Amino acid sequence: MTRSPAPGGAHPRGTDPGDDLRPFRSVRAWVFDLDNTLYPLSSNLYAQIEDRIRAFIATRLGVGAEEAAHLQVDFHIRYGATLRGLMIEHGVSPDEFLSFVHDVDHSVVAPDPALAAVIPRLPGRRYILTNGSRVHAERVLKRVGIEAPFDGIFDIVWAKHTAKPLAAVYEQLVAETGATGDEVAIFEDLARNLAVPRQLGMTTVMVLPPGTRPLFYGRWDLESGADREADFLTEDLAGFLQAVLATLETP
């Protein structure tokens, strides 16, 4: 299986004609990030959550809006999730944080019939892996119309309040699913959350907002970092999964 783009100009694979989707033939566990992966960035649901995170920090730590925004990014970079930073440095209760930041208007997420049709057809087990809470995930899945097909939701409580991209989270994932690394496919909107999965032999797919894929090609070797982490790129998750299924069904 080719995992890296060839040097000298070849671009990573997506659902272009001729793409080799056969690595998915060994997959028994399909793992999906939640936010901005199973629903579009353009819904602005995650923007609502980020507003709530900054509001929580401002109130809890008694800082202004600007400092709260700085701390949010700082915690996120240093700990993988803002919550982890708040727990370690400020003793914040995870339940208090999670219920506050996920108290948003989930109705902005539209049903996705194409995704709802294709995910149940994936052979094997299907999971959610999110740095958010289970309650938030369940609300999102209900809106998208894909509650039923998942065998498990691995949330930040399941991860013992560690968070992607820490290796421990993915190692726990592999242990829990009973699948070896090369039997796992993982779908994510953040390249950095695909680095460890790729090292563990998982097939990695980066889900991009519609219309942005050419930008990644243009900047591929310069700054995205995604060339190191993603085996595949797609800006149409349902279409990508349909193409994967077609490959799996071809002898």
Instruction: Pick the binder of Mg ion from 15, 33, 169, 208 (CB under 5 A).
Output: 33
Q: Which is nearer to Mg ion, 97 or 187 (CB)?
A: 187
Place of tokens 């310069």: 222
- Structural tokens at position 135: 């309650």
Q: How far apart are CA 79 and CA 175, in angstroms?
A: 22
Q: Which of residues 37-96 bind Mg ion (CB under 5 A)?
A: 37
248: number of Cβ within 10 Å: 15
Alpha-carbon span 203 to 51, nearest angstrom: 33
Cβ 201 to Mg ion shortest distance, Å: 22
Written as one letter, the residue type at 247 is T
> Contact region for Mg ion (CB under 5 A) — 29-37, 76-84, 102-110, 216-224?
29-37
Nearest C-alpha neighbor of 33 from the set 156, 120, 121, 117: 156
Could you tell me if 212 and 55 are in contact, meaning their C-beta atoms sit under 8 angstroms apart? no
In the complex, what is the shortest distance from the CB of residue 164 to Mg ion, in angstroms, rounded to a whole number? Answer: 9
Identity of the residue, 36 or 82, whose beta carbon is nearer to Mg ion in the bound complex = 36
Q: Cβ-closest residue to Mg ion?
A: 35
Is 155 a residue that touches Mg ion (CB under 5 A)?
no
Binding test (CB under 5 A) with Mg ion, winner from 50, 112, 183, 189: 189
Binding site for Mg ion (CB under 5 A): 33, 35-37, 189
